[in-house]
Structure 1
Amino acid sequence: MTDKKQRPHYSPEVRERAVRMVMEHGGEYPSQWAAIVSIAGKIGCVPQTLHGWVAQAERDAGKRSGPST
């Protein structure tokens, strides 16, 4: 038995929808982080998780430097 907490697994559809919500509604918030915090609460994940998904989506789209998937 390990002491690690089990992380919930989110389906690709949930991830895509959450990232899309940040991209589409980000202008309604004072910052991208504020949008991430709000939307993360709605889908049931921590903001850091959603931030990672958004950052990867931005890398994949060429909007942020780093390796794409």
Structure 2
Amino acid sequence: MPPATNLAKWWAKFGPEKGRITRHLSPYELHPVRSLINTIPQKTVRKIRENGLVLIPSAVLLVGTVKWGTGW
């Protein structure tokens, strides 16, 4: 079915995608997110190590500002 006449010019800018990989879950897959759940602890530790130097001081500053603003 071709696009509507008023959308033909807009859709002409989009060509076919070559080399795109599409994936889907098999209906027989029993645990589709098991690997995600199993790697959460390692990813959490890695993210804390990578971003801790920024997150910890900013969290302390945020809590301090809120406590200072509310008068303890």
TM-score (norm 2): 0.25
Higher relative contact order structure (alpha carbons within 8 Å, sequence separation ≥ 6): 1
Greater Cα radius of gyration, structure 1 or 2: 2
TM-score (norm 1): 0.26
